[in-house]
Amino acid sequence: MSDDIRPEDLEKRQDGRNIDSRLGVLAGEGAQQRVKGIDEANPSRGLLRTRPSQSGVNAESPSYYGQPAIKEPVWIWSIPLYFYVGGVAGAASVLGAAADVFGGERMEGLGRRCRWVGTAGDIVSSGLLIYDLGRPTRFLNMLRVFRPTSPMSVGSWVLVGSGAMNTASLLFAGRRGWLGRAGEGAAIAAGLLGLPLAGYTAVLIANTAVPIWQATRKSLPLLFMSSAMAGAGSLMELLPHPKRDEKVLHLFSAMGKVGELLAGVAVQHEASRLEVLVRPLKHGPSGTLWKAAKVCTAASLALGVWPGRRKWMKVARALLGSAGALLTRFAVFRAGKVSASDPQTTFQPQRQGMGAAEVTGHTHASDGKPFKFPLPVLHEASALPRREIPAARHLESELGPEPPTAPTP
Amino acid sequence: MGQKGFFTDTTLCIGCKACEVACKQWNQLPDDGFQFTGMSYDNSGHLGSSTWRHVAFVERPVPSPTQNTAGMAFSWLMASDVCKHCQRAGCLEACPTGAIIRTEFDTVYVQPDVCNGCGYCVTACPFGVIDRREDDGRAWKCTLCYDRLGEDMTPACAKACPTASIQFGDVEELRERAHRRVEQLHEKGLDAAYLYGADAENQPGTGGLNAFFLLVDKPEVYNLPPDPVVPTMKGKDAWASMGWGALGMAVMAIGAVLLGREVAR
Ligand code: SF4
Ligand code: SF4
- Is the pLDDT score of B204 beyond 50? yes
Ligand 1 contacts (CB < 6 A) are B 83-86, 89-91, 108, 125, 127, 129-130, 141
Report the pLDDT value the prediction gives residue B122, as an integer from 0 to 100: 95
Report the pLDDT value the prediction gives residue A409, as an integer from 0 to 100: 39
**Which residue's CA is the closest to the ligand 2 atom numbered 3?**
B115
- Mean pLDDT, rounded, for A218-247: 93
User: In chain A, what is the greatest distance between 2 CA atoms, to the nearest angstrom?
Assistant: 91
Question: Which B residues 4-63 touch A at CB under 8 Å?
Answer: 24, 26-40, 42, 45-46, 49-50, 52, 56, 58-63
Report the pLDDT value the prediction gives residue A249, as an integer from 0 to 100: 93
Residue range B144-163, pLDDT digits in tens: 999 999 999 999 999 999 99
Q: Which of A50, A75, A378 sits opposite B62 (nearest CB)?
A: A378
The string of DSSP codes covering chain B is: ---EEEEEEGGG-----HHHHHHHHHHTPPP------SSSS-SS-S-BTTBSEEEEEEEESS--TT---TT-S-EEEEEEEE---BSS-HHHHH-SSS-EEE-TTS-EEE-TTT-----HHHHH-TT---EE-TTT-SEE----SHHHHTTT---HHHHH-TTS-EEEEEHHHHHHHHHHHHHHHHHTT-TT-EEES-STTT-TTTT-BSEEEEESS-GGGGT--SS---THHHHHHHHHHHHHHHHHHHHHHHHHHHHHHHHH-
- Mean pLDDT, rounded, for B73-88: 92
Report the pLDDT value the prediction gives residue B190, as an integer from 0 to 100: 87
**Which residues from chain A sit within 8 angstroms of residue B196, using beta carbons?**
366-367
CB of B228 less than 8 A from some CB of A: yes
Report the pLDDT value the prediction gives residue A2, as an integer from 0 to 100: 45
- Is the pLDDT score of B93 beyond 80? yes
Report the pLDDT value the prediction gives residue A387, as an integer from 0 to 100: 36
Q: How confident is the model at residue A405 (pLDDT cuts 50, 70, 90)?
A: very low
Report the pLDDT value the prediction gives residue A17, as an integer from 0 to 100: 67
Give the N- to C-terminal CA distance of chain A in Å, as an integer.
44
Q: How confident is the model at residue A7 (pLDDT cuts 50, 70, 90)?
A: low
Tell me A370's DSSP state.
Answer: B
Quick one: which atom of ligand 1 is closest to the CA of B100?
Answer: 8
Span of A104-108, A268-272, A299-303, B85-89 with lowest mean pLDDT: A104-108
Q: CA separation (Å) from B29 to A32, A377, B24?
A: 9, 37, 5
Test A360 with B118 for CB contact under 8 angstroms: no
**Rounded CA separation A177/B99 (Å):** 45
- Is the pLDDT score of B129 beyond 80? yes
Report the pLDDT value the prediction gives residue A9, as an integer from 0 to 100: 59
What dihedral angle (degrees, nearest 10) is formed by the CA atoms of A376, A381, A382, A386? -150
Give the ligand with the smallest distance to the CA of B137: 2
Residues A173, A186 contacting (CB under 8 angstroms): yes
Span of A122-131, A233-242, A353-362 with lowest mean pLDDT: A353-362
Test A64 with B124 for CB contact under 8 angstroms: no
- Which residue, B6, B36, B12, is CA-closest to B193? B12
- Is the pLDDT score of A39 beyond 60? no
Higher pLDDT, A365 or A317: A317
Report the pLDDT value the prediction gives residue B71, as an integer from 0 to 100: 74
Residues B158, B168 contacting (CB under 8 angstroms): yes
Residues A103, B261 contacting (CB under 8 angstroms): yes
- Mean pLDDT, rounded, for A392-399: 37
Report the pLDDT value the prediction gives residue A85, as an integer from 0 to 100: 96
- Is the pLDDT score of A4 beyond 70? no
- Is the pLDDT score of A47 beyond 80? no
Query: How far out from the chain centre does Cα B66 lie?
Result: 27
Residue range B40-75, pLDDT digits in tens: 788 888 899 989 999 999 888 777 777 777 777 788
pTM over 0.90: no
**Which residues from chain A sit within 8 angstroms of residue B90, using beta carbons?**
209
Report CA(B127)–ligand 1 centroid distance (Å). 7
Query: How far out from the chain centre does Cα B185 lie?
Result: 25
Span of A58-67, A251-260, A384-393, B70-79 with lowest mean pLDDT: A384-393
- Is the pLDDT score of A408 beyond 70? no
Residues B73, A388 contacting (CB under 8 angstroms): yes
CB of B208 less than 8 A from some CB of A: no
The verdict on whether omega for the bond into residue A43 sits within 30 degrees of 0, i.e. cis, is no
**Rounded CA separation B171/A137 (Å):** 39
Q: Which of B27, B229, B256 sits opposite A30 (nearest CB)?
A: B27
Higher pLDDT, B30 or B248: B248
Q: Which of A47, A252, A359 sits opposite B234 (nearest CB)?
A: A359
Cβ neighbours around A317 below 10 Å, total: 25
- Is the pLDDT score of A399 beyond 50? no
Report the pLDDT value the prediction gives residue A305, as an integer from 0 to 100: 83
- Quote the minimal CA–CA distance from B182 to chain A in Å: 12
**Rounded CA separation B162/B26 (Å):** 17
CB of A375 less than 8 A from some CB of B: yes
Test A251 with B256 for CB contact under 8 angstroms: yes
Report the pLDDT value the prediction gives residue A41, as an integer from 0 to 100: 47
**Rounded CA separation A30/A257 (Å):** 49
- Quote the minimal CA–CA distance from A246 to chain B in Å: 8
ipTM rounded to 2 decimals = 0.92
Report CA(B98)–ligand 2 centroid distance (Å). 8
**Which residue's CA is the closest to the ligand 1 atom numbered 8?**
B91
Higher pLDDT, B203 or A50: B203
Residue environment code for A7-24, b if the CB has 16+ CB neighbours within 10 A, otherwise e: eeeebbeebbbebeeeee
> Which amino acid is located at B130 in the chain?
I
**Which residue's CA is the closest to the ligand 2 atom numbered 6?**
B118
Bridge partners for B7 per DSSP: B167, B212
- Mean pLDDT, rounded, for A229-235: 96
Quick one: which atom of ligand 2 is closest to the CA of B95?
Answer: 5
- Is the pLDDT score of A53 beyond 60? no
**Mean per-residue pLDDT over chain A, rounded:** 82
User: 3-class SS at A66?
Assistant: coil
- Is the pLDDT score of B201 beyond 90? no
Span of A44-48, A282-286, A322-326 with lowest mean pLDDT: A44-48
Q: Is the CB of B121 under 6 A from ligand 2?
A: yes
**Which residues from chain B sit within 8 angstroms of residue A195, using beta carbons?**
246, 249-250
- Quote the minimal CA–CA distance from A58 to chain B in Å: 7
Higher pLDDT, B102 or B135: B102
Quick one: which atom of ligand 2 is closest to the CA of B118?
Answer: 6
**Which residue's CA is the closest to the ligand 2 atom numbered 4?**
B121
Report the pLDDT value the prediction gives residue B45, as an integer from 0 to 100: 84
